[in-house]
């Protein structure tokens, strides 16, 4: 993507699940990935408005594929929000994750 194309696309938004805008960055691969990496390094999850999660270096491609300009920044679930039940972890919303998976 050229700089001219990026300038036509405007800005990308990083927002909370509640709709609060955390920041706006130029709609370019470098700017989006730099901001996404910063959030990821602080333990935040990143997802699009459809609820699909992305790792930081996939965010710009996700925005391009979906024609969206918003990444949702999801607060990390801290240790105080988790309960261990044997080999399972129960997080917010009572979603259970199996932590005893083995390789085949």
Break the chain into its structural domains and give their ranges: 3-74
pLDDT greater at residue 50 or residue 99:
50
- pLDDT of amino acid 78: 59
- pLDDT of amino acid 29: 93
Give yes or no for residue 80 having a pLDDT over 50.
no
Rounded average pLDDT over 42-69: 89
Look at residues 6, 3, 17, 13 and name the one whose alpha carbon lies nearest to residue 71. 13
Q: DSSP secondary-structure letter at 60?
A: H
- pLDDT of amino acid 10: 87
pLDDT band for position 6 (cuts 50, 70, 90) = very low
């Amino acid at each position: 993507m050229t700089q001219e194309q990026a300038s036509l696309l405007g800005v990308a938004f990083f927002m909370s699940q509640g709709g609060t805008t955390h920041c706006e960055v130029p709609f370019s691969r470098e700017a989006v990935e730099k901001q996404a990496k910063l959030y990821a390094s602080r333990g935040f999850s990143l997802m699009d408005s459809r609820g699909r999660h992305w790792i930081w270096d996939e965010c710009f491609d996700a925005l391009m594929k979906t024609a969206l300009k918003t990444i949702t920044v999801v607060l990390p679930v801290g240790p105080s929000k988790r309960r261990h039940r044997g080999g399972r972890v129960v997080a917010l919303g009572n979603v259970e994750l199996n932590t005893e998976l083995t390789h085949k």
